[in-house]
Amino acid sequence: MNRSPDVVVVGGGVIGCAVAYYAAKRGLRVTLVDRPQRGRATSASAGGLWPLGESVGLGCGVIFYKAMAGLGSLPDGVHGPGQLPKVFLDFAVRSNAMFPDLAEALRETGGLDVEFERTSLLFLMYDEGDVAFAKPLWEHCPCGRDLTEWLTPEELARAEPAVTREVRGALRFHGDDQVNPYRLAEAFRTSARSLGATVVTHTEVTGLRVESGRVTAVETATGAIPCGLVVNAAGAWAPEIGRMAGVEIPVRPVRGQILGTEALPDVLSACLSTTDCYLAQKQHGEVIIGSTTEEVGYETGVTPAAMKALAAGAVRAVPFLKDVRVKRVWSGLRPGTPDELPILGPVEGLDGYLNACGHFRTGILNAPLTGLLVSEMIAGATPSFPAELFLLSRFSGAIRRADNR
C-alpha cells in the first residue's frame, strides 16, 4: 500500500495550517512540515479581520506612509498602499464571511475557541487632512455606502467613551471583525490532525526533489518525504522554498513591531485605526497596539523608537492608556509582495507544486479562503473563487525553472 502523502505542506503558520485543515477535510493524505522560525508572522499578528479597512488602505496602511517618509524611498517595484483592487476586497470579504461557521467547525473538530468577535473598525479623524482622506472613502466606498458610517465627535464619544475628544469624528467600517490569531493557527493545526493529517514540527525543509518537471519529494533534515504535490506556505521564507525547485518568488520580509498592554477591563468595543497606529482589545482584555511597516530584511528586533511612537499614538487615541502597563513587545515578518496580493496556485512548467504565500498584512483574514481554494486546487476541483489574478505568472520574468535532479 502506498503510504506517502498526497500533499506535503511546507510551513506551519496560519496559511500552512489552513491548507492542511481544508485538505484533510477533503479526505486527502496530508503532511505538514514546520521549522519554527524567529519572526514568523502568525505569532506576531494583531488578529484584525478588516477586509474593508485594509482594502481602502487603512489597517496598518496609513502607518506605511509614515514609514515610507522615515525611510526615504522603498525598493524598486514596491509601492505604498492605496486602495487595493476590487478582487482583493471580494476575496477578503468572502474569507471573513467564512469565520462564524469555521469557528464553530474548529471548536467541534479540534476543541479550540478561536475567539472570533463581530465588531467594526473606526478610523479616527484628528484633523482636516484626515477628514479629506476619509470623506471620499465614505462617499465612494467600494464596499458600498451601507457598510460605512460617518460619526460626529458626539456620536463617537457615546459609542467609545474612552476615545479622545480631540477628534473631528470617525469613519466606521461595519463588517470588520477580529479573532485570536494564535488560537486560529493552533485550531487549524489541531483540527487537521484530528482529521488525519500528520504534523512534523521542528523540522526544516532542506530541498525539493524535481524529476522531469515534477516535484516528487520534500527533503528534510530527517529524511525525504515522497509526495504527489508540495504546497509552499513558508511565509517570508517562501523564496527559499521556491528556489529549491528553480522558482523565483517575489516575496520579501516586511517587519511589523507591535506591543500589548496588561489585561484591562472593557475599554474599546470597536477596533481603532489612526494615522499613528491601530488598537484592538482582545477577549482576554489585552489591548494590542500596532504596528510598524519596515523594510529591514530578516531583522526581527524591537526598537525603542518604534515602541515610543506606537505608545504615543495609542495614548493620543485613548488617553486612559497613559497609566497602564505594557506587558509585552514583539515583532514579526510579513510576507510582502510587490502588489500586496497573495501568490496562490500552480506555476507554469512545474507539476506537483502550488504556492500559498505572500499574504503580507492580511494572512489571518485571508487564511480561510486561501485554505479552501488551495485544497480545491490540490484535489483538482473547480476553485470556488477565481484564482487567475493571484498566480505567480502575473509577475513577468519571475520564473526560472530547472530540474535539480
Ligand X SMILES: Cc1cc2nc3c(=O)[nH]c(=O)nc-3n(C[C@H](O)[C@H](O)[C@H](O)COP(=O)(O)OP(=O)(O)OC[C@H]3O[C@@H](n4cnc5c(N)ncnc54)[C@H](O)[C@@H]3O)c2cc1C
Choice between 169 and 205, CB closer to ligand X: 205
CB of 12 to ligand X, least distance (A): 5
Contacts of 33 (CB under 8 A, 6+ apart): 8, 9, 10, 11, 12, 200, 203, 205, 218, 220, 225
Choice between 40 and 193, CB closer to ligand X: 40
Q: How many Å apart are CA 362 and CA 60, to the nearest integer? A: 10
Partners of residue 290 on adjacent β-strands = 258, 278
CB of 346 to ligand X, least distance (A): 18
Are 258 and 329 a contacting pair, CB within 8 Å?
yes
Closest CA to 218 of 234, 199, 231, 236: 231
Are 34 and 16 a contacting pair, CB within 8 Å?
yes
The 3-state DSSP class for residue 141 equals coil
8-state DSSP, 247: B
CB of 255 to ligand X, least distance (A): 7
User: Rule CB under 6 A: which residues touch ligand X?
Assistant: 10-16, 33-37, 40-42, 44-48, 204-205, 233-237, 240, 256, 258, 290-291, 332, 334-335, 357, 359-365
CB of 231 to ligand X, least distance (A): 11
Choice between 112 and 169, CB closer to ligand X: 112
Choice between 133 and 360, CB closer to ligand X: 360
> What is the Cα Rg of the chain in Å?
21
Are 55 and 142 a contacting pair, CB within 8 Å?
yes
Cell of 283: 477577549
CB of 334 to ligand X, least distance (A): 5
Choice between 28 and 218, CB closer to ligand X: 218
Cell of 148: 460605512
CB of 261 to ligand X, least distance (A): 16
The 3-state DSSP class for residue 255 equals strand
The pairing of strands 148-151 and 48-49 is: unpaired
Q: How many Å apart are CA 261 and CA 238, to the nearest integer? A: 32
CB of 221 to ligand X, least distance (A): 9
CB of 165 to ligand X, least distance (A): 27
Closest CA to 114 of 129, 126, 99, 124: 99
Choice between 96 and 148, CB closer to ligand X: 96
Choice between 14 and 151, CB closer to ligand X: 14
Closest CA to 14 of 382, 335, 347, 339: 335
Choice between 169 and 258, CB closer to ligand X: 258
